[in-house]
């Protein structure tokens, strides 16, 4: 992982694997309610469920009970949702509660929708293991749309940005080294960290995925990120601890995509 310097806007020290990982983007603004206002909610049964009994899904947690993403290569349609308050995550529509998620992480939390079923949506989650999903009642969510898609090709060591299915740009990038590979599958832009004093990248875009080989790094949870790099000789190489290092031109464009924008990482 790269040395993570500044993190004044983070609630926990960020040294995202090899400065591991970064977040960008344009945060779509909807106001989330205070967590205390949602201490209990109605689950699928008529009984009240104490949210304190459920683990929190965040970039810092591991929730083994989360359903696995069964279609990690499929491109989501671009719908993103924001919890209006602390909400319950279920393992299926009208299923069993297994966790909760709140309206804030790196700023507002926006999650990509991968499936709909009546008044339920299935979303990708920011917690470990990679590819974790959960079902949320649509009535508890604000909804928006991202017309962007980020694709990372590990074999080619390139990153592509699309808008409305049209290519915006393609760049040679640095990816994870063989011992600390960039994880494959679909994830999303989880947030944005901006610090002009950061020596290697003024913008870090944390993703909803984590290193498969590093449990933590520099006090952080091994969150994967997209960020810049000062030495252009790394582009086209497999040298990071899992993060994707991109040229300045790519970073300037990627930082404008909405939070929740899907990111697909493949082996090609």
Rounded to an integer, what distance in angstroms lies between the CA atom of residue 21 and that of residue 106? Answer: 13
Active site residue 243: yes
Q: Where are the domains of the chain?
A: 35-145, 148-266
Helix (H, G, I), strand (E, B) or coil at 22: strand
* Burial label, 70 (beta-carbon count in 10 A; 0-12, 13-18, 19+): exposed
- Segments in the chain forming alpha helices (H): 248-254
| Active-site residue, from 82, 210, 227, 241 | 227
Tally Cβ neighbours within 10 Å of residue 166: 7
| Active-site residue, from 82, 210, 241, 243 | 243
Helix (H, G, I), strand (E, B) or coil at 27: coil
Domain at 148-266, CATH homologous superfamily:
L,D-transpeptidase catalytic domain-like (2.40.440.10)
Active site residue 227: yes
CA distances from 116 to 52, 80, 121, 135 (A): 27, 12, 5, 9
Give pLDDT tens digits along the chain (268 positions): 443 333 333 333 333 333 333 333 333 333 333 322 333 344 444 346 888 999 999 999 999 999 999 999 999 999 999 999 999 999 999 999 999 999 999 999 999 999 999 999 999 999 999 999 999 999 999 999 999 999 999 999 999 999 999 999 999 999 999 999 999 999 999 999 998 888 899 999 999 999 999 887 666 899 999 999 999 999 999 999 999 999 999 999 999 999 999 999 999 9
């Amino acid at each position: 992982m790269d040395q993570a310097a500044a993190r004044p806007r983070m609630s926990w020290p960020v040294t995202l694997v090899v400065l591991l990982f970064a977040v960008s983007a344009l945060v779509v603004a909807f106001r989330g309610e205070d967590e205390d206002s949602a201490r209990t909610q109605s689950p699928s049964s008529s009984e009240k469920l104490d949210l304190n009994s459920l683990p929190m899904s965040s970039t810092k947690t591991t929730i083994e009970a989360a359903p696995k993403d069964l279609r990690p290569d499929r491109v989501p349609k671009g719908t993103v949702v924001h919890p209006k308050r602390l909400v319950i995550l279920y393992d299926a529509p009208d299923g069993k509660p297994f966790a909760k998620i709140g309206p804030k992480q790196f700023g507002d939390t926006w999650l990509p929708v991968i499936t709909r079923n009546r008044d339920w949506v299935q979303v990708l989650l920011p917690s470990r293991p990679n590819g974790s999903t959960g079902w949320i009642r649509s009535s508890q969510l604000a909804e928006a749309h991202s017309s962007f898609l980020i694709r990372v090709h590990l074999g080619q060591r390139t990153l592509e940005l699309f808008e409305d299915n049209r290519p915006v740009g393609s760049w040679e990038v640095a990816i994870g080294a063989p011992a600390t590979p960039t994880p494959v599958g679909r994830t999303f832009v989880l947030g944005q960290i901006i610090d002009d004093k950061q020596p290697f990248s003024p913008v870090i875009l944390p993703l909803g995925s984590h290193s498969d080989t590093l449990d933590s790094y520099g006090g952080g949870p091994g969150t994967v990120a997209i960020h810049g790099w000062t030495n252009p000789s790394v582009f086209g190489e497999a040298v990071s601890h899992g993060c994707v290092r991109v040229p300045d031109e790519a970073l300037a464009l990627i930082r404008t995509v909405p939070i929740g924008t899907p990111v697909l990482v493949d082996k090609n």
